[in-house]
Structure 1
Amino acid sequence: MTTNDLMALLPVLILGGASVIAMLLVAVRRNHRVMHAFTVTVFIVALLALFREPGTMPYVIAPLFVVDKFADFNTGLILAAGLSVLLLSFNYFEQREERKEEYYILLLLATVGGLVLLMSRHFVSLFLGLETMSISLYGLIAYLRARERSDEAGVKYLLLAALSSAFLLFGMALVYAEAGTMDFVGIGQYLAGISQAPMTVVAGFGLMLIGVGFKLGIVPFHMWAPDIYEGAPLPVAAYIATVSKGSMLVLLMRFYRDVNGYEYTILWWVLAIIAMASMFAGNWLALMQRNVKRLLAYSSISHMGYILIAFLAGMEAGQEAVMFYLVAYVITSIGAFGVLAMLSDEKDDAEMLEDFSGLFWRQPWLAAIFTAMLLSLAGIPLTAGFIGKFYVVAAGVNAGLWLLLALLVVNSVIGLFYYIRLVAVMFQPQEGAVVRRRLPFFGMFALSALMALLLWLGIYPSALIAVIRDMMLTMG
C-alpha cells in the first residue's frame, strides 16, 4: 500500500490499532476509568483524522475500497455516534459488577467493521466488515452475563445473524457466478451490457436483500429487534439502532447506485412492499408496548420504512433525503436510549412506562431532552425529525410515490399517539416528596449536545443539506 492509501484509511487504522493497544492495557491492569478515557480519546483522534488533506476524490484503493466525500461524511457520522454512546456508557457500566474493560475493545472492533462497510465497493470487503461488526455485537449484546435476558438476546442475535450471513454469501455467489466479478462497479458494467438481468442475478440480489434486511431490521426480517433491544445493555441498544443500521444503509445506497438497481422494477416493488409492511408493523406493534425499549425497537422498524420511501424515490433528491433522515434518526435514537441509560440503576434498566411517571418533577432537564427526542421521532416541527420527514415527502412527491406517501402520513399519525402518550406520562403530577438523583456530567453533556443539534437542524437545516448535496455529487 502507498502512503496515500494509508492516509485515506487513517480512521480505520487508528481504531484497529487502538483495539490492540486496548487489549494490552487490559492485560497489564484493569481500570475502567483509564479504558474509557483511552477509548474516548481514540474516537476523537479518529474524527480529527478526517480533516486530512483531501487529495483526489474519489480515491480508489483497488479492488476493495473507495474513499470519497460520501464515505468521509458517513465515517464522521458513525464516529460521532460511537463517541456519544461512549459518553453514555461509563456511568451505566460503572454501576454494574461485571468486568467492564472488554466492552471498549468490542466497541472499537465493531466500529472498525462499520467503517469498512462504509468504504466497501467489493463483496470481500463487504463481508469482512459485516462479520467484524457482527461478531463484536454478539459479545456486546450478551455482555451483562448476570442478566438472563442479555444472554438470551446474544444467542438469538448469533443464530439469526449467522443465518442472514449465509443468505448474503449465497446471493453473492450467484451474482459472481453470472457476472464474473465481485466489484460493485464491475457488476454494474456487466448488467449494463446485457438487455435483461438473468434470473440468477435477480435471485442473488434477493438473497442478498435478506442479509441486508436483517441488519436494517425491516419487515419480515425484524423479529429479532425487540428482543435484542430489550436484552442488550442500553448503550449497546443505542449502538445497534444507529451505527449498525446506519453502516448497512450506507452500503446499500452505494451498492444500489453502482449496479444501477433503480432500473430493475422487480427490486423496486420488493422494496416498496417491505417499506409499507415495515411502517404498519412497526407502528401497530409499538402501540401495544408498555416496555419503552421494545417501543423504541418497533419504532425503529417503522423509521426504516420511512427511509426506504426516500430510497425508492431515486438517485438525487431521494438519496439526499435518506442521508438527512439518517442523521436525524441517529441523533434522536442515541438521545432516547441515552435518557433510559441515565435513569437506570445498578439493578434494573429504566424501561417500563411506570419508570417515567412524573419524570418532569424529578429530573426536569432530562424530561425536556427526552420530550425533544420523542417529538423529533414523531416528526413535530422545529426538530430534525420534522425536516427529515419533509425531505422524504418532497422526494416522494418528486417521484410520484403517492401510495407510499399516503401510508407514511397515516403511519405518522399512528406513531404520534404512542410518542405523545410517553410524553404525557412524564408530565403526570408527582405524589409525595420529589427525590432528585445526581446525574453524571459526561452523560448529561452528551444528551444536551444531542438536543441542541436536534433543534439546530430543525431550525436551520440548510447547512447540512448543502454538505449532503456536495457529497452526493462527488460520490465515487
Structure 2
Amino acid sequence: MNELQLLALLPFIVLATASIVVILLIAFRQSHTVIQVVGFLMMCMVVFATWYVKDTLPQAIPPLFVVDGQGALFTGMIIFSVLAIGLFSYIYFEDREENPKEYYILLFLGTLGAAILTISQHFISLFIGLELLSVSLYALIAYLRNRNNAVEAGMKYLVLAALTSAFLLFGMALIYMETGNMEFAVIAKKITTTSPTLFIMGLGIMLVAIGFKLALVPFHLWAADVYQGAPSPVTAFIGTVSKIGVFAVLLRFAQTIQLQHYPLAISIFSAIAIASMITGNVLALRQQKLKRLLAYSSIAHFGYLLVAFMPGNSAGTEAAIFYLLAYSITLLSAFGVIILLSTGQGDAEDLSLYQGLIWKRPVVATVLSVALFSLAGIPLTAGFLAKFFVLAAGVQQHMWLPLIVLVVTSVIGLYYYLRIISTMFAAPLPTLASPKTLHPFFYISTYAALIIMTGLLTWLGVFPGIILQGIKTFLLLH
C-alpha cells in the first residue's frame, strides 16, 4: 500500500479510532457528557478527513476497496446522520435506566461497518462491513434490556439477520462457482464470457440479505417491530446509516456488472419495488404508533428508491443519491422530534401524544410538519424534488408500470402523513409530554440541529442546484 492509498483511507482510520477513544474514556471513568463531546469531535474529524482527501480520489486499494467520489458521497451522508443521531442520543439516554457509555462504542462500530460498505468492491469486504454493522445493531436494538419489547426486537433482528447472512454467503458461493472470483470487476468480465445461470441464481439468493437490510417486501416483516422496540436514536440509525451503507454497495455492484443488461434481474427488482410501494403505504394507513408508521413508510420509500436504481444510468444514480440525502434529513428530523418528546418511561410514539402539539410546542410541531410534508412529497420540500428526479430517471428508461405505481401510492401516502399533521392542529390534551430538563447546551444544540435540518429540507426543495452539482462533481471522481 502506497502513501496515496493510505491517505485515501484516512476517514475510515479516524472512524475506527473513534471507537478505541471511547473505550479508553470509559476505562478512565469519564462522564456521559465528556464521551458525547469527544465522540462528536471525532465525527467532525472524519468529515474534515473526507474533505481533505477528496483531491486524491479515486484510489483503488486492491482487492478489497475503491475509495472514489461515489463512496465519499455515501460516507458523507453516513457521518452527517451519525452527527445528528449522536446529538439526539445524549438527551435520549440522559434520563434512561441504562448506562449510555457503551452505546457510543457500538454506534461508532456500526458506523464503521456501514462506511466500509460504501467503498467495498469485493465480496469479502462486503461481508465484513455488513457483519460489523449487523453485530453492532444486535446490541443497539436491545440496549434498553429492561424493556420487553426492546429485547424482543433485538432477538427478532438477531435471528433473521443471522438467517439472511447464510443466504448472502450461499449466493456469493454460487457466483464464485460461476466466475472463480469475488472481486466485482473480475466478476463483471467473467459473466460476459460464460452462461450466467449460476450468477443469476446467486444474485437472487443474495437479494434476500440485501432485501432484509433495506426492509423490502417480502423481507420486511421485522421492520415495524424493530422500529418500535429499539431506542429511538437506534431506530433513526437503522433507517438512515444502515440503509445508506447497504444501498451504496448494492449500487456499486450493479454498476460494475451492468445489472440493467439482465432483463430477469431487472424484472425481479421491479416486482420487489412495486410490492414495497404498495405494501408499505397500505400497511401504514391504519397505524396509531408513529414509529411503526415510519417503519412502513420506509418500506415504501425504498421501493421508490429502487425505481431510480434500476435504470443504471447517471441520471438514476444522481436521483438515488439525492433521494437518499433528502430522506435521511427528513427521517432524522422526525425522529429528533420523537426523542425530544420522549420521557424516561417510554418513547413518544402514540399519535394521541401529538394532539395539539402546534399550540404547546410550535417549533417542534413545525419541524415535524415539514418532515412529514417532505415524506409525502409536497412541493417546496426536498421530498418533492427527490420524487421528481426519480420519476425523470424512470421515464428515460420507459419504466411505466413502476412509475404509475409510484404516483398512485404517493397519493395514498398523503392520507396518513396529513392525518398526523391534522392531529397536531387539533385541540390540545392536558397529557401532552412536558419538555425535558436538560443541560442548556445540549438542549439548545438539539433545537438548532432540528431547525437547520428543517431549513435544509426547504432549501433543497427550492434551490437543489448546488447539491446536484456537487453530486455530479463527486461522481466524476470514479
TM-score by length of 2: 0.97
Shift, 1:53, TM fit: 4.2
Task: Find the residue that maps to 2:191 and give its secondary structure.
Answer: helix
CA distance in 2, matches of 1:123, 1:397: 33
Which residue is equivalent to 1:308?
306
Which residue is equivalent to 1:331?
329
In structure 2, what residue type is equivalent to 1:200?
Answer: L
CA distance in 1, matches of 2:433, 2:88: 22
Which residue is equivalent to 1:157?
157
Name the stretch that deviates more: 430-439 or 58-67.
430-439
Which residue is equivalent to 1:210?
208
CA RMSD of aligned residues (A): 1.4
Measured at CA, do residues 53 and 106 of structure 1 come closer, stay the same or move farther in structure 2, by a change above 3 Å? closer
- Preserved CA contact (<8 Å) 1:361 1:434: no
User: Which ranges in structure 1 are unaligned for 5 or more consecutive residues?
Assistant: none
Task: Find the residue that maps to 2:144 and give its secondary structure.
Answer: coil
CA distance in 1, matches of 2:292, 2:32: 29
Task: Find the residue that maps to 1:345 and give its secondary structure.
Answer: coil
In structure 2, what residue type is equivalent to 1:443?
Answer: T
CA distance in 1, matches of 2:284, 2:322: 24
In structure 2, what residue type is equivalent to 1:264?
Answer: Y
Mapping of residues 68-467 of structure 1, within 5 Å: 68-194=68-194, 196-197=195-196, 199-430=197-428, 437=435, 440-467=443-470
- Preserved CA contact (<8 Å) 2:309 2:320: yes
CA distance in 2, matches of 1:433, 1:245: 35
Shift, 1:74, TM fit: 1.2
CA distance in 2, matches of 1:350, 1:54: 41
Task: Find the residue that maps to 2:220 and give its secondary structure.
Answer: coil
- Give every structure 1 segment of 4 or more consecutive aligned residues whose post-TM-superposition deviation is greater than 4 Å: 431-436
Q: 2:61 aligned with 1:61, yes or no? A: yes
Task: Find the residue that maps to 1:114 and give its secondary structure.
Answer: helix
Which residue is equivalent to 2:440?
none
CA distance in 1, matches of 2:428, 2:332: 27
Which residue is equivalent to 1:11?
11
Task: Find the residue that maps to 2:366 and give its secondary structure.
Answer: helix
CA distance in 2, matches of 1:139, 1:56: 37
Percentage of pairs with the same residue: 47
Q: Deviations over 1:326-376 (max 9, x none)?
A: 100100011111110110011111001101011011100000000000000
CA distance in 1, matches of 2:449, 2:88: 7
Name the stretch that deviates more: 429-438 or 465-474.
429-438
User: Which ranges in structure 2 are unaligned for 5 or more consecutive residues?
Assistant: 438-442
Measured at CA, do residues 55 and 424 of structure 1 come closer, stay the same or move farther in structure 2, by a change above 3 Å? closer
Shift, 1:313, TM fit: 2.5
Q: Deviations over 1:175-227 (max 9, x none)?
A: 11110111000000111233x42x21111111111111110000000001000
Picking from 469, 474, 478, the partner of 1:471 is: 474
CA distance in 1, matches of 2:39, 2:385: 33
- Preserved CA contact (<8 Å) 1:359 1:427: yes
CA distance in 2, matches of 1:433, 1:263: 57
CA distance in 2, matches of 1:361, 1:49: 43
Shift, 1:288, TM fit: 1.4
Name the stretch that deviates more: 181-190 or 430-439.
430-439
CA distance in 2, matches of 1:117, 1:93: 28
CA distance in 2, matches of 1:25, 1:312: 45
In structure 1, what residue type is equivalent to 2:421?
Answer: V
CA distance in 2, matches of 1:173, 1:448: 48
Shift, 1:138, TM fit: 0.6
Q: Deviations over 1:422-476 (max 9, x none)?
A: 000001022669986257222212111111111110010011111222233333x
Task: Find the residue that maps to 2:86 and give its secondary structure.
Answer: helix
Which residue is equivalent to 1:43?
43
CA distance in 1, matches of 2:211, 2:401: 22
Task: Find the residue that maps to 1:192 and give its secondary structure.
Answer: coil
Shift, 1:55, TM fit: 4.5
Paired residues, what number? Answer: 473
Measured at CA, do residues 118 and 399 of structure 1 come closer, stay the same or move farther in structure 2, by a change above 3 Å? same
CA distance in 2, matches of 1:145, 1:138: 12
